[in-house]
Amino acid sequence: MAHRNTDGHGPVAESAPIQTAPEQAHRGYKPAICVFCGSSSGNDLVYAKTAFELGRHIGESGYRLVFGGGAVGLMGEVARAARSAGAPIIGILPAFLRGVEPPLKSAEELVITPDLQQRKSRMLTLADAFVILPGGLGTLDEFFEVITTTQLKVHTKPVIVVDVAGYFAPLRALLDQVVAHGFARPEIVTHQDFVATPAEAMARITLRLSARGR
């Protein structure tokens, strides 16, 4: 696994080599799916099961995976399944979280950033599409970052939310509430697709990327 430190303040591990080639060297190889999800597994086995299924679909569909870099929770489930199914995977992890979210050892590349903001920026840059699974405040922060940049026309990348067991029903209601009270235009509900399964998520992404000529 190649490691890189993006803050210029030394190596990320005592014996870890620093790879200097930019991430964009991967571009044109395989489209990259960025998955935002919990670093915990939740209190229902269906969440981990869905994360594993998504990772497997990503690998079997010939995509790359960009994820939060950790081996724990749903992100670990996605990454291990994607790697087992043949997907190249890139982890993006802030330095201060290395002790909380130990890096996945099977990641082909691990990028260490100095903070959460640069982590999100790097993930948004590398991704060709985004899938959101259940998670906590960090996952919600990442979701809103992506749809806000969609609203501002920074990108037109697909954003797919997998509504596992109705987990995201309150989020859909919140978006409707924002529109109903005049704080956003009705089209914000078109910035993301809500689906029920990983298979549906990947089908939507494949359709959207094919239409864009990826």
The predicted-structure confidence for 100-144, as pLDDT tens digits, reads as follows: 777 877 777 899 999 999 999 999 999 999 999 999 999 999 999
Q: Per-residue pLDDT for 213 more than 50?
A: yes
Contact 162, 198 (CB under 8 A): yes
pTM: 0.86
| Average pLDDT score over residue span 20-38 | 68
Regarding predicted confidence, which is higher, 183 or 4? 183
Topology of domain 2-7+30-211 in CATH is Rossmann fold (3.40.50)
What is the rounded distance in angstroms from the CA atom of residue 97 to the CA atom of residue 95?
Answer: 5
Which residue, 9, 58, 1, is CA-closest to 30? 58
pLDDT of residue 211: 85
pLDDT for 24: 42
pLDDT at 98 (0 to 100): 84
pLDDT of residue 2: 55
Across 21-46, average pLDDT? 78
In terms of average pLDDT, the best of 90-104, 145-159, 200-214 is 145-159
The model's confidence at residue 30, banded by pLDDT at 50, 70 and 90, is confident
